[in-house]
Structure 1
Amino acid sequence: MNSISTRALQGSHPPRPQCHDGIVAMVELAHVEMLRLCGLLEEVADSLPAGIDRRKCLMIACELEPLVRGIHRFEEETLFPAYRRVLEEQGKGRDSVERLLSEHVQDECFAGELTEALLLLGHDGMVENPEALGFMLRGFFEAKRRHVAFEREHVLPEIRCPGP
């Protein structure tokens, strides 16, 4: 008797891949927060050079680095290990996880630079080179949006529990 008919007779099912719906839910909340922040950064970029909301710049500056670092730590401690296990079970390489980790390092450095620029903008109300700051802001929030999109389209579906 082959293994499929043996399982059918015994009433057992093939092992389900490990699923992590709790992690998925937390990452989805983190994505909402990151996309909210990206929206605020886009508003600042669109307001340059003359329509700057100094209070908004200071608020974003206070929130940016802690939010980025907190989300990254959570992903690195929970999401990426779960995703890595799934990839290994499927016989796939780790390139995606390594790329995401590399993006985290780059994003954290970028967030630090943006925080400094936003603090100056919030305190002074003007910027020496609005085009350069706009370019920095857009580079950051567009990269974060791509990162979130990749996780939503490729990472989360792999660790989500299969439907009934």
Structure 2
Amino acid sequence: MEGARPEEAGRPARVMQRVHENKLALCAALESVADALPRGVCRAECLRIASLLVPLLRQAHAYEDDIIFPAFAVAAPDAYQTIHRLRVEHVEDESFADEVTEILLAVGHGEPIANAEAMGFMLRGLFETLRRHIAFEREHVLPAILG
């Protein structure tokens, strides 16, 4: 994975933990925007999040698909359906993140927030989904690949 630290080479679980931390930081940022709706939204923060969200998810998902899931499959041979479900969630999360990015970019570039309740619901839907996915990986995938 791009950006992996040299000391993490060969340690997929450590890289995954760092990726989780980065994703959780973005979740916290999304939550802050949702909490600030409708009038307290920082447009610069919307642009910052929008610039990071999809690239971070794509990079993280590619790493999981290429490195983590094969290691998990070896450690837990009966986990085929679980891996399939996690991969499907990756696709769904990236699609959802694309939609959220569009809204964040619009707000960041000065467009008015047409429906603060809908925007908040959308932001919360994404960060709650990401947090659930991370929690599952921490409870099931990481322990298996750590051996």
Q: TM-score with structure 1 length normalisation?
A: 0.82
What letter corresponds to residue 52 of structure 2 in structure 1? Answer: E
Are residues 1:155 and 2:102 paired?
Answer: no
What letter corresponds to residue 63 of structure 2 in structure 1? Answer: F
Q: How many residues align?
A: 139
1:128 partner SS: coil
Q: Identity across aligned pairs (percent)?
A: 48
Summarize the Cα distance change of 1:35–1:48 in structure 2 as closer, same or farther, 3 Å threshold.
same
Q: Distance in 2 between matches of 1:151 and 1:59?
A: 26
Are residues 1:115 and 2:104 paired?
Answer: no
What letter corresponds to residue 104 of structure 2 in structure 1? Answer: L
1:135 partner SS: helix
1:58-85 Cα shifts (integer Å, max 9, x gaps): 0001111101100000111000111112
Counterpart of 2:129?
A: 143
Q: Distance in 2 between matches of 1:93 and 1:67?
A: 25
Counterpart of 1:62?
A: 51
Task: Map residues 26-65 of structure 1 onto 2, 5 A cutoff.
Answer: 26-65=15-54
**Bigger shift: 102-111 or 92-101?**
92-101
Counterpart of 1:131?
A: 117
Task: Map residues 74-113 of structure 1 onto 2, 5 A cutoff.
Answer: 74-88=63-77, 92-113=78-99
In the alignment, structure 1 segments of 5+ residues that lack a partner are 1-20
Q: Distance in 2 between matches of 1:138 and 1:158?
A: 30
Counterpart of 2:5?
A: none
Q: Distance in 2 between matches of 1:84 and 1:124?
A: 46
Aligned alpha-carbon RMSD (Å) = 1.4
What letter corresponds to residue 126 of structure 2 in structure 1? Answer: F
Summarize the Cα distance change of 1:119–1:23 in structure 2 as closer, same or farther, 3 Å threshold.
same
Structure number with larger C-alpha Rg: 1
1:42-71 Cα shifts (integer Å, max 9, x gaps): 000001101010000000011111011000
Structure 1 moving runs of 4+ over 4 Å: none
